[in-house]
Amino acid sequence: MQKLIERFIRYAKIDTRSDESSSTTPSTLSQVRFAEMLSKELIELGLSEVKHDPVTGFVTATLPSNTVEEVAPLGFIAHFDTADFNAENINPRIIEDYDGEDIILNPQEGIVMSTELFPNLKSHKGHTLIVTDGSTLLGADDKAGVAEIIEAMIFLLDHPEISHGDVRIAFGPDEEIGRGADHFDAEGFRAQFAYTMDGSTLGELEYESFNAAQAKITLQGVSVHPGTAKDKMVNTAKLAMEFDAMLPQNEVPEKTEGYEGFYLLHDLKTRIDQGQMTYILRDHDRIKFNRRKETILAIAKTMNEKYGAERVVVEMHDQYYNMGEVIAKDMRPVELAKEAMRNLGITPVVRPIRGGTDGSKISFMGIPTPNLFTGGENYHGRYEFACAEVMLKAKETIVEIVRLNATKPRV
């Protein structure tokens, strides 16, 4: 566990935040440098076919088969970018034998991770936690997955008595801005199925994700002096409020769970004469998903007719689809993961992802790719933490999946 912690912290300290406003791939130079570092490390570890593709940003490698038996090749995938939150000067701290109480992250700033706000902390009493200093995220999403995959490969290299087929690994950029997997070379990956190591709590096994779309809405107003504004001014802040009020007010993230979809007003910028709104639309059901897109367009049409001008312009695109549509046709990776977890004394927790992973896109590229737990929690902010014991279980789950796969007939 100590080696896993050390590798994770070393990776976590490196700023690899992605940037949605960038037009490059990867979106930030820090990700390029991290990928170059990873590729060198994989070569030094003795993995084969190590490649850093400067066009896609992905780093791939192979642990070659060590058996004469015909075994289905499989893969493990993680992303190395981090979310849209401060990632400069990350300072991880280890808490051994956690007492189950509130954690003071930063006494100078009064930043506390409370068990009242985060009751999930209490389940980790007695565990080893890795936390932030309250000024940055941690990067367990998804540096934990990167570290676990690599440590699992090291274990398999050190234990050749464990028979296995070809194991492919891939680490990629820009997952957090929803476009890294767009450039994934699924054919070149040469895996019949794969797993993203991008989940959270112990036992998580997810093979259903949202269908996702983004709607960028431009609002066009009219700015005149407020003293002479009667029947002339059109304030885009008011247009934005009117637009949002026409959406179902209970279908938002803070009021939904499970399979319930939502509309999220993600960004809003206005001045009197011009404004921009960005919504993300999510639903597990494809029919309901399409209806959400139709609702956005219908509201825009209604408002434009009301104002007698094109005050609301919608640009909308799909981001990814529910990977369950693909994986349901080949449940082999799901059943294999369940069996591996049970062998390790882990109870599989099968539930839909209220989000998406690279596996959402990769599954539609022809490689069924469910998602597994990593041990990180409270992602995308200052309260992010990782549990070392769960991280170790994630690594062990990878090894057991690889071992079990060699006992199954090739399909």
- From the list 405, 399, 337, 355, the residue with the least C-alpha distance to 178 is 355
Q: At what angle do helices 140-158 and 29-45 cross, to 10 degrees?
A: 10
Marked catalytic residue, from 19, 133, 151, 175? 175
Q: How far is Cα of residue 203 from the mean position of the Cα atoms in its chain?
A: 17
Tell me phi and psi for residue 38, to 5 degrees. Answer: -60, -45
Marked catalytic residue, from 53, 81, 174, 206? 81
CB 229 within 8 A of CB 109: no
Q: How far is Cα of residue 137 from the mean position of the Cα atoms in its chain?
A: 14
Q: Is 175 a catalytic residue?
A: yes
248/12 Cα distance (integer angstroms): 39
Q: Could you please report the per-residue DSSP string of 180-249?
A: GGGG--HHHH--SEEEEE---STTEEE----EEEEEEEEEE-B---GGG-TTT-B-HHHHHHHHHHTS-T
Task: Look at strands 376-377 and 274-283 and give their pairing.
Answer: unpaired
87/133 Cα distance (integer angstroms): 12
CB 55 within 8 A of CB 41: no
Q: Is 81 a catalytic residue?
A: yes
The contacts of residue 153 (CB under 8 Å, 6+ apart) are 45, 47, 61, 63, 167, 169
Which of the residues are catalytic?
81, 175
